[in-house]
Amino acid sequence: MFVEAAKPEAHRFTWREPSPTVRAEFRALTANPSRDVCIAALSQSPPSNHDPILVRITGGRTLPTTLVVAPGQRLSFENHDPFPHRLFMVSSNTWKAETIDSNRHREWSAPPGAGRFEVKDELFPSVHSYIVVEPQTAAIAFPGRDGAFSFDLPAGDYTLRAYFDGKAVGKPLSVITKDRGPALDLKEPLAVSDATGKP
Amino acid sequence: MMVLSRLWYVVLALLLGISTYVVFLAVGEYDRRNGVAMEEELASDSQTVGWALQIDARKRLDALLIGAVDKGVQDSLQAAAGKDTIPGKAKEDGRRALNATMEKIPADFRPDILFEVDHDGRAVSQVGFDAANTFPDFELGGYPAVFDALHGYLRDDTWVLGGKAYRVVARPVEVDSTQPPLGAIVALKSVDKKFAADISKRTRANVAFFAAGQRIAAATMPGFDESKFTAVDSDMLSLATDKPYADGRSDFHPVGETLGAIYARFVGDAWDQGAGFVVVRSKTTIGGPMGFLNGADDKDKASVNVALIGGVVFLALAIGILLSILEQTLPMRQMEKQAGALRRGELDYLQVAKFRGGYRGIAENVNAGIERVLEKGGGAVRKPADLESILGPVPAQGAMSAFSFPLQDGAAAPPQAFPPPPGPPLPHPAPTSNPSSGGPPQIGGGPPPPRPRPPTPVGPPPPAIAAPPPAAAPAGPPNLSAPTAPVLAPMPLPAGAVPSAGGRPGGNFQIALDDSPDSVDGDGPTLASALSPTGVPIPPPRPAGAAPPVPPAGEDRTMASPFNRAKPPAPAADPAAMKLGMGAPGVPGARAGAAAGPVPTQTMMGMGLQAQAAAGSKGSDEDESTVIARAPSEILAAATGPAKAVNDETAEWMTVYDEFLRTKKQCDEPTDGLSFEKFQNTLRKNRDALVQRHQCKRVRFSVYIKDGRASLKATPVKE
C-alpha cells in the first residue's frame, strides 16, 4: 500500500523527496514486522473457541494490518483514534461501511472455510488490512521490534508461516511441540522475505 | 414637400434602430465574452490556488527542518525508541521540544499541530492535538506521509481527520546517518478560515475548502459576498458525477444565474476523501440595454465623451431644424409674405417662381383659383399672349424657319402665324394619345401638361381677335389625331408675299423673337418665336373681332394654330404633320386640332415652349436663340433725333439685309425676289408689332442659321 501511495499517479503528495542525510538503504519502503507481519501456527487439528482478537484502529491503519484466523474467529475492530472511522469489508454485502466512533468497536466473525478478506476505511484511504481465514490456524503471533515472536501452543505438530499483505510469505517452518516441556526455540529464523526484501 | 425633413426622420429612425440593434448585440456579446472571460479567470484562479497550496506546502516543509534537527526532539525520540511503553519523561521532553520548535517556525508557516513519531509510528509527543492524549497508543505510522518520513523522505499530504482538513508535512528525524531515521516530525496546518483567507489573499481568488461534501472554510476578496458560497454547497453534490473532477479539476460549473465555480481536489489522502477547494467568481452580465446604465460606476460615467455625444446631438438637431426651416418655415414665410402682398394688392398672383416643391403647386393652384374667380366675375383675366394679335397672320411654314415643316413636295413649309380666336380663352382640349401606341399625348396632339400653369404677367392682355369666318376653313377630312379639336384654317398669305417657285419661296424667312434669358427686352424670356414669311409683312394686331386674313386660294400651306377655336373638320392629315401638331401639308384648310394645344390659360412661356416643340420634328431643343447684345449706352446717347434714329435703323437693317443674303447664300438658298425694300418692310412691320407688344423703343434683328437655313431673330430693346 505504501509503495502504491509513493507513486505520483496516486495523487497522494505534492512534494516527496529523499532526505539527503538519510542513506539510500534506509529509504527502502519496508514493512514494520511488528505491525504488518502475522505468524500463524497451522495444525491439522486446531483448537476452537478462540476469544475475540482485538484489532486497533489508529494511526491511519489497523493493528495488525494482516491477520490469520480460523473460521468462526471473531474480530473486534476498536477505534483508538479521536475521530470516527468507517470500516467495511471489500466485496461484502454483510459487513458494509459503518461508523465506528472513537473508543468504539465493531465485530466481525470469520466465515467458514478458507478465505481472504480485505478491510478498508471510507474515511481513511491508508487503512487497508487483510484477514486471512485459514481453517488450520491454531494460533497467531506478531513479531516484536526485534522480530522475535512466541506462541503458547499445545503439544503437537505445527507449521509456522508468515503472512504479509494478506498473503503467505517466506518459507513455512515445521515445529513439534511437546506437552508441558520447556520453551522451544527455533533453530533457524522464519524468513519472510528474500535478500532483496521482497516477500 | 418636406422631402428632406422626412428623409431626415427616416435617417434618424434608421440610426435609432441601428443603435438599438447594436446595443442589444453589444449586450449579448458582452455577456458572452464576459462568460468566457469568467471561465478563463476561474480556471486561472483554480490553478493559482493549486500552486499556492504547493508553495505553501513546500515552505512549511522547509520550515519544519527546525524541528527535525532540534535536539530536544531528537532526545525525546531517542528516549522512546525500543521501549514497549513510551516513557513519560520522553513524552514531556518531546512536548517541550515541540513547543520550542513551534515558536521557532516563522508565523506564516507555523503549524497548528506538531507530532514527533518514533520509528514504529507511535506518537511520542504532540502539540496542538490534545485529543490524542486520550489514547496512549495513538499512532500515526499508518499514514503514507509519516511512513515515508520514517523511511527518509520529505513529504507533504492532506488529511481529513474527523471532518477537518489538514495540510500535512513530515520530515525524518535523524541522529546517526549510519542508522535509519530515529523517527519523524509531523506538522499539521488546519484548513480553516485563517488558512483560507491567507490563500485567498495570496491568489486574489474567492476560495472555499470542502471535505466530505461540506464546506469547511472560505474566504473572499473584497466586494464578493461570502454568502454566495451557499449556492456552491448544493452544487457540490454534483461532483460525484463530475468526471473531470475525478481527474483532479472540474470544468466550469455555472452556479445559479450569477456565479461560476471550478472545483479541484486536494492531493494527498484527502484526494479520496472528497476534499478539495472551489474557486468562485460572480458572473458580470448586463442583461439588457439598461444594464449598462445600472452597472456603470462614476469612473465609467466619467469616461464617456460627453462632448462628442453633445456634438452629435447638436448636429442632428441642427440638421433637422435646418431642413425644417428650408422646407417648411421659409416656404411658409414666403407664402405668408406673398399672401400678405396679395391681400394688400401689391400682387395679383402669387409668384410661383419663388416657390419650390409642393408649395409651387399650391401657388399655382391658388393662382388658377384666382383666375377662375376673376373669370366668373367677368374681370380681366391674364391669359397667354396672343402672338397673332401682335404679329398678324404668318405663313404656315417658312422655308427657312425653325418652325418650318415639310410640304407635300418635301419642301419645308414656311411658318405661319394664326390669329388668335376671338372671345374668351379656350379651355384645354382633352389630351389625345397616340392611337397606334396608346402612348402619351403627342406634341400638339393634345393639351399641354395637365397641371394648369398660372399665367405669367407679360403685360396687358392681347386684344380679342374675332374668330375666322367659317368660310375660311375649307372642308376636309377630320384630323385623325385630334378628331374633336378644331381644324386649322388654311394659312393666310398676306399681301405682298412672294412665294417662290414650287411652293418654296426663296425670299421667305422667319423672324423669331429672342427669348433668351439675357434678352435686353427687360421682360426676360417671354416669347419664344414669332413667325413671319419672308417678304410678307407681319400683319399688325387685329382689332378685337376682326377676322383673320384668308389665305389665297390654292395656297397649300397650312399650319395649326393654337388659338383657333372650333373650325370645320380638316381633311385627313399627314400622320407626320399630325404628329407635330400641324395641319396636314398639302391639304388646304386642314388643321391639326392637336396643334391647338396652347389655350388661353397658358402662359406665354408655355406657348413658346409649345411652339418650340412644334417647331421641328427633330426636337425642341434644337431651337437656339441668338442674342443681340445690349447696345452700349454711350452709342445710344450719341444718337439724337428721330431722323438720326431712322437713318441708323435703315443702316442697321441694311447690314442685317446683307448679312441675311450672305447667310442665305451660304446656306445655298435662293435669294431671288428678296429685295431690301421688302426686307425692310417686313422688318418694319415686325418692329412695329413688337414695339407695340413689348412697349420697347426699338427692335434689333439678327441673322442666324436654323436647320441649315438663314433666319432672322428679333430682339426688343427697351432702352
Residue A58, helix vs strand vs coil: strand
Q: Please give the pLDDT value at position A120.
A: 93
A5/B contact by beta carbon, under 8 A: yes
Tell me how far apart the alpha carbons of residues B428 and B265 are, in angstroms, rounded to a whole number: 99
Give Cβ neighbours of residue B336 (< 8 Å, ≥ 6 apart): none
Given the cut 0.85, state whether the ipTM is greater than it.
yes
Given CB atoms, is B54 within the 8 Å cutoff of chain A?
Answer: yes
Distance from CA of A112 to the nearest CA of B (A): 30
Q: Can you list the residues of chain B whose pLDDT is less than 50?
A: 396-507, 516-630, 633-634, 640
Q: Which residues of B touch A57 (CB under 8 A)?
A: none
* DSSP result, A181-199: -PPPPPSS----S-TTS--
Which helix (H) or strand (E) segment holds residue B108: the answer is none
Which pLDDT does position B189 carry in this prediction? 94
Residue A3 CA to residue A29 CA, distance in Å, equals 7
**pLDDT mean across residues, chain A:** 84
Residue A56, chain B, CB below 8 Å: the answer is: yes
Residues 156-185 on A with a CB inside 8 Å of B are: none
Give the residue from B607, B340, B614 showing the smallest Cα distance to B458: B607
Dihedral Cα B281, B286, B287, B293, nearest 10 deg:
140
**Contact between chains at B120 and A26 (C-beta distance less than 8 A):** no
pLDDT at B494: 41
Of B120, B143, B174, the CB nearest to A126: B143
What percent of chain B clears pLDDT 90, i.e. is strictly above it? 25
Return the pLDDT at B712: 87
B405, B587 in Cβ contact below 8 A? no
Residues of A in contact with B62 (CB under 8 A): none
Torsion angle defined by CA atoms of residues B703, B705, B710 and B715, in that order, rounded to the nearest 10 degrees:
-30
What single DSSP character describes residue B433?
Answer: B
Query: Do B162 and A63 lie within an 8 Å CB cutoff?
Result: no
CA distance B625 to B611: 14
β-pair partners for B153 = A18
Which three three-digit cell numbers place residue B249? Answer: 479539476
**Chain B: nearest CA to A181, how far in angstroms?**
28
Sequence-separated (6 or more) residues with CB below 8 Å from residue A61: A35, A126, A127, A128, A129, B139, B141, B142
What are B539-583's pLDDT values in tens digits? 444 444 444 444 444 444 434 333 444 344 444 434 333 333 333
Which of A1, A9, A16, A19 is most worth mutating to test chain B (most B CB atoms within 10 A of its CB)?
Answer: A19
Three-state DSSP at B157 gives strand
As a whole number of angstroms, the distance between CA B699 and CA B649 comes to: 9
> If contacts are CB pairs under 8 Å, which of residues 138-157 in chain B contact chain A?
138-148, 151-157
Task: Using an 8 Å CB-CB cutoff, list chain B residues near A28.
Answer: 151
Host H or E run for residue B366: helix B357-377
Q: Please list every residue in chain A whose beta carbon sits closer than 8 Å to the beta carbon of residue B277.
A: none
Q: In the 8-state DSSP scheme, what is residue A60?
A: T
Helix (H) or strand (E) holding B464: none
| Tens of pLDDT, residues A117-138 | 999 998 898 899 999 999 988 8
Question: Any CB–CB contact under 8 A between B80 and chain A?
Answer: no
From A1's Cα to the closest Cα of chain B, the distance in A is 9
Complete DSSP assignment for B511-569: EEE--STT-TTSS-S--------TTSPPPPPPPTTPPPPPPPTT---B---TT--S-PP
Say yes or no for a CB contact (<8 Å) between A16 and B160: no
Separation of alpha carbons B456 and B526, rounded Å = 9
Does the predicted model carry a pTM greater than 0.80? no
Contacts of B151 in chain A (CB under 8 A): 22, 26-30
- Whether residues A23 and B147 touch (CB distance < 8 A) is answered with no
pLDDT of residue B450: 41
Q: What is the mean pLDDT of the segment spanning A11-25? A: 87
